Structure 1
């Protein structure tokens, strides 16, 4: 039964992660940590193993989602590669921070981080883009489904700096990093929502690739857990990309926000009480 649950977990996490550009690790890591106290096969799982295993799974979620989005020309590959100049080193720094972290501290910090992400998702639609590249910087244009020309842009130094923080969170928490990068692209750079999500999944793939290689070298990956999660993650990434093209996603965002708050509170409680 536990193996079936892991398969379904990978599928659901990848679908939601692909729809929102979050990657899915933000659901997989807390699920593994919470279930470690209840499921026999997950008993005693450490934060390091949860993060390392999640990042290996994120490679497949990110790749399948990216390929699906590329087919429909939604990925800003040049911007994604530029952001990776920051997220790559950031991911390695995050792995270094993760290696000696205390379990209780990890749970409390990660729970607070998840609640912060839910708040970001709540306010992002009500804040107009700052558009940091009004003068100079990188400029891009995109014709949306209504035939309207949408312009967006950013200062490379600012984009790389933000991506470094995103990469650090990826390596530290085992998430794709899109929970920070998507709001940044929407609010700071004026990216169209579909382009932001698709480009974020491309960045998730690259960051997870770098982070997971380091975690593998440190022995932080449980390959049995990964094998159970990866099939669902691969197909979930494809399904999520298809859903993203058809829905505005308001209902999904609201459900995801609620779920993140519940998970965040549960992890903080577990970190404080040990239960």
Structure 2
């Protein structure tokens, strides 16, 4: 039963993470905390273990979805590597800050963050690219229909934003795509599909660095991690495939409500301790 639950968590997290560009940690961490504190299925789950294990899983989620997006040629490798220059160090700093958080503090902060992510998902569909004068790096993308898109960003701004995203990822064990994808679309004029694909590529690289830090701190439950990997790998491929085929508004709407409910539950449990 324990393995079935973990594989299912990985499958759901991988699918939603790749579909929307979140990375999957926004599902894995609260799921591990829930089963670890409210049931007898998963033992020894602390905020640090939940985060460390989640980040290790995101290596495989990020790699699986990136390989799928590569086939559709929607990954901007250059931009992903530039953003990684910020998200990598940010993830290391976040991982070290995470070790100081107690269970009640983590639940409250993570609950608030999940509600914030839900708000971002609500407004993301209404966000329109800002007509900013782009300076620095200029990129062009031509989709399968032959439509061309021009986008760009200043490297310093891109790296700075990615550092914040990596820092949050290191603390909470999430991919950071919930923040990075809207920023890429609104501020840098990325086409949505390119933003999601590039976000997953950045998440893959950042998760390697962040998880290495958590591994050195002893924050990865290897038994749970290897049980989560198969579902996350398959789910990431499914999510990336769906993303390339249709607009996932219904699923996103369900996820918004789910995040608010889980966020409120985490805050309640944190305050009740």
Report if aligned partners of 1:131, 1:154 keep a CA contact under 8 Å in 2: no
Q: Output one character per residue of 1:159-204: Cα deviation in whole Å (capped at 9) or x when no partner.
A: 1010000000111000111111111111111111100000000011
Q: Distance in 1 between matches of 2:228 and 2:120?
A: 27
Task: Output the aligned Cα RMSD.
Answer: 1.1
Q: Can you give the 5+ residue segments of structure 1 that lack an aligned partner in the other structure?
A: none
Q: Which residue of 2 aligns with 1:182?
A: 181
Aligned partner of 1:93 in structure 2 is 93
CA positional deviation for 1:44: 4.0
- Deviation of residue 135 (structure 1)? 3.8
CA distance in 2, matches of 1:120, 1:137: 27
Shift of 1:38: 2.6
Partner residue in 1 for 2:239 = 240
Distance 1:257 1:29 in 2: 16
1:1-275 mapped onto 2 (5 Å cutoff): 1-132=1-132, 134-274=133-273
SS in 2 for 1:204: helix
User: How many residue pairs get matched?
Assistant: 273
Q: Is the 8 A contact 2:134 2:152 kept in 1?
A: no
Structure 1 counterpart SS, 2:138? strand
TM-score normalized with structure 1 length: 0.96
Q: Which aligned runs of 4 or more in structure 1 are off by greater than 2 angstroms?
A: 144-147
Q: Are the equivalent residues in 1 in contact too, given 2:35–2:41 (CA < 8 A)?
A: no
Q: 2:181 & 2:30 partners in 1: Cα distance?
A: 21
Give the TM-score taking structure 2 as reference length.
0.97
Q: What secondary structure does 1:176 align onto?
A: coil
